[in-house]
Amino acid sequence: MEILIQIVVPLASVVVLLMLGFTIGRTRERRHFADLEHREATNSKFLVTNLKTVPPGMQPQTATLVLGATVIASDYLKTFLSGFRMIFGGEMKSYSSMIERARREARLRMIESARAAGAMAVINIRFETSNVSGTTGRNAAPMSEVLCYGTALLPSGH
């Protein structure tokens, strides 16, 4: 009986911690996606383009660089489960979700920075990504940094 307790208690602890991590991670991810959708709707009328030229009809007085950056990390449960995906191959959907959140957040931060500066549009936007932390090792926590930058077009008087 004592041997059974020595096996069951640690195993149950691991299962409880994994389920807790799953629940908290999923809740935070859903809240972040809801926040992104709200902020994107708020900024939907603001012109953002990857074109290098000033849109027709706009006559900006000045231009300045604006950027938005973020680092999004994967939770340990997704990292643990992705280990199995690496064995069999295929799309890492949990990491795709992480990258999508980071890209959208960085873009919104850039737009919010441009609006705070009084810009009427942002042209020539670009994305840069980097891997902040590795996916191997004992304390691996995959994280991705996304930087979004562009040229904010400012009207006269700014």
Average pLDDT over residues 4-19: 83
Which residue range is the domain that position 89 belongs to?
A: 2-154
Domain count, the chain: 1
E strands, the chain, where? 47-48, 62-73, 121-133, 143-154
The DSSP bridge partners found for residue 148 are: 68, 127
- Selection from 72, 69, 43 nearest residue 128 by Cα: 69
Q: ∠ CA(146), CA(78), CA(85), 5° rounding?
A: 100
Q: Report pLDDT digits (tens) over 16-70.
A: 888 888 888 889 999 999 999 999 999 999 999 999 999 998 889 999 999 999 9
Read off the pTM: 0.83
Distance in angstroms (rounded) separating the CA atoms of residues 8 and 146: 42
- pLDDT tens, position by position, 85-138: 677 777 777 788 888 999 999 999 999 999 999 999 999 999 999 877 655 556
The domain that contains 59 carries what CATH number?
3.30.110.70
